[in-house]
Amino acid sequence: MQEFIKNRARQEIFKLKPYTPGKPIEEVKRELGLEDIIKLASNENPLGPAPRAIEAISNMLSELHLYPDANCFNLKKALSGFYDIPITDILIGNGSDELLKLIAETFLSSGDQIIVGKPTFSEYEFAALIMGAECIEVPLKDFTHDLPAMLAAITPKTKIIVICNPNNPTGTIVNRTQIKEFMDKVPDDILVIFDEAYYEYVENPDYNTGLEYLAQGRNIIVLRTFSKIYGLAALRVGYGLTSTEIAQAVERVMEPFNVNTPAQIGALAALQDKEHVQKSRELNSQGKQYLYNEFKRLGLTYVPTEANFIFMDTGADCREVFNRLLKLGVIVRTGDIFGYPTFIRVTVGTEEENQRFIASLEKVLKDLK
């Protein structure tokens, strides 16, 4: 059987690196026998789902025997009004992950190249490699996308450039001026993807989304999600804003019924829940300031963030810190998977969760001295 797989499976799959998700709460319960656990590893909204989404989903459960709307018409119509763009310019996917894979299937062939930052969200590389394309990683500068270096990395093989803004795992942004200078120079025949999964959390007034360049008719896709600030990570709803022509091309490789009905209805209701979004922003802003102050008190360095997580240096082996925090019922994300062996990434939680994290971290670091 092993020989069969080796000889018959597509060779591209052997280059793929398995995605490393945040450790699930249930797994920690099973492994360590703990019951009181907080998860600050996957950038989930600590306030939970948008209340309007919960209500809307509860009201449609008697319709689970019916297939979903394959075109996601009502959700697309709502997004069309929300962003004031044509309904034909919108893609809906089973999370942004699916959209990234569909975009790769549409535009990439063996031997093509994409350019991304390093470190950044790993699914960009996955989507490229599975199509036989090469992923060119450009190191970050001061934990931020180095756009001039990304421009310098362009070759005749470059098909796609991805800018994660704010960037995961660092939480940094490239600002309005930097994006303009980049877009002024990037060739028109390259597709630029702005992954803006965390844009609702941004507080910096110098932030600029990729939507400006969509309005200019550039070949771009802006990716956003209902998984983060709207609190619908379990439903998997991501969307892309682009041109009609690009959307129609991507839809050619899209599976029918790719977004289930509860997800569509929940996302539609969440989009209208402005109060939940505002509360989530305020909680995140307050939580960031608390964690910043505590890190300074403990003498720890961190990367100021525009997202709902903080990339910080523990000054110790991140795996050891992770395992010790785990035994205290606190789940975070290790930085070694991003190339930073002493860093961890921690999601901004509720006030109680943030306080518990700091108390646990302080104890762990004291024990490690």
Task: Find the CATH number of the domain harbouring 119.
Answer: 3.40.640.10
For residue 25, name the pLDDT band (cuts at 50, 70, 90): confident
Q: How do residues 293-303 score in pLDDT, each as one tens digit? A: 999 999 999 99
Which pLDDT value is given to residue 19?
61
Which pLDDT value is given to residue 5?
60
Q: Are residues 209 and 61 in the same domain?
A: yes
Q: How do residues 78-114 score in pLDDT, each as one tens digit? A: 999 999 999 999 999 999 999 999 999 999 999 999 9
Q: What is the mean pLDDT of residues 151-175?
A: 98
The CA distance from 77 to 186, in Å, is: 32
- For the cut 70, the answer to whether the pLDDT of residue 21 exceeds it is no
Domain count, the chain: 2
113 lies in which domain range? 52-272
CATH number, domain of 39, equals: 3.90.1150.10
31 or 353: whose pLDDT is higher? 353
The whole-model pTM stands at: 0.92
Q: Spell out the residues 6+ positions from residue 356 whose beta carbon is closer than 8 angstroms to its own.
A: 38, 330
Q: Are residues 202 and 306 in the same domain?
A: no
CA distances from 256 to 64, 134, 224 (A): 17, 29, 21
Q: Is the dihedral of CA 81, 82, 87, 88 positive or negative?
A: positive
Q: Are residues 256 and 305 in the same domain?
A: no
Q: How do residues 268-289 score in pLDDT, each as one tens digit? A: 999 999 999 999 999 999 999 9
Pairing of strands 238-241, 330-331: unpaired
Q: What is the mean pLDDT of residues 172-183?
A: 97
- For the cut 80, the answer to whether the pLDDT of residue 28 exceeds it is no
Q: Are residues 37 and 157 in the same domain?
A: no
- For the cut 70, the answer to whether the pLDDT of residue 20 exceeds it is no
Pairing of strands 38-39, 330-331: parallel
| Any domain includes 7 | no
For residue 368, name the pLDDT band (cuts at 50, 70, 90): confident
Q: Are residues 40 and 95 in the same domain?
A: no
Which pLDDT value is given to residue 7?
65
Q: Are residues 231 and 364 in the same domain?
A: no
Query: Looking at the DSSP assignment, which residues form a beta bridge with residue 345?
Result: 311, 333
- For the cut 80, the answer to whether the pLDDT of residue 358 exceeds it is yes
